[in-house]
Amino acid sequence: MFTDAGSVPLKRNLYIGLEGEDVAERQDLLNVLADIIDHLGASELAKLEADGKFGPATVDRVKEFQSRNELDADGVIGPETDAEMDSLWIRVLIRHHQISIQN
């Protein structure tokens, strides 16, 4: 789950076949990061259904995210991928906060 303060730390590696709220939270975060204008999280794939099921579409999105962020594109959300996702989310929040202050 992600909030204005960041996202909840990953408690387990996420990979194809797993189901749960943590999968849905990371699917949501991948969707948010896909909307980033710059190259860091941008995606050309369709938005994920945040259904909590780590299926082929989620694997594809994770691999794309990993490739674009110079990570091992194995389709697994482990500590490195999770940290990069959180880092990007924090950058988005900082950018949003800076824009809010300027306006």
Predicted confidence (pLDDT) per residue in 2-41, tens digit: 445 455 567 899 999 999 999 999 999 998 888 775 555 5
- Tell me the three state secondary structure of residue 15: coil
pLDDT at 48 over 90: yes
Owning domain of residue 58: 12-102
Residue 1 lies in a domain: no
Residue 2 lies in a domain: no
Residue ranges with strand state E in 1-103:
2-3, 6-7
pLDDT at 67 over 50: yes
Q: What is the mean pLDDT of the chain?
A: 84
Residue 5 lies in a domain: no
Cβ–Cβ under 8 Å, residues 25 and 62: no
Count: domains in the chain: 1
pLDDT, mean of residues 55-66: 95
Residue 3 lies in a domain: no
Residue 6 lies in a domain: no
Residue 73 lies in a domain: yes
The CATH number covering residue 41 comes to 1.10.101.10
Cβ–Cβ under 8 Å, residues 75 and 62: yes
The DSSP call for residue 7 is E
Residue 4 lies in a domain: no
pTM, 2 dp: 0.81
Q: Which residues pair with 14 in a beta bridge?
A: 77
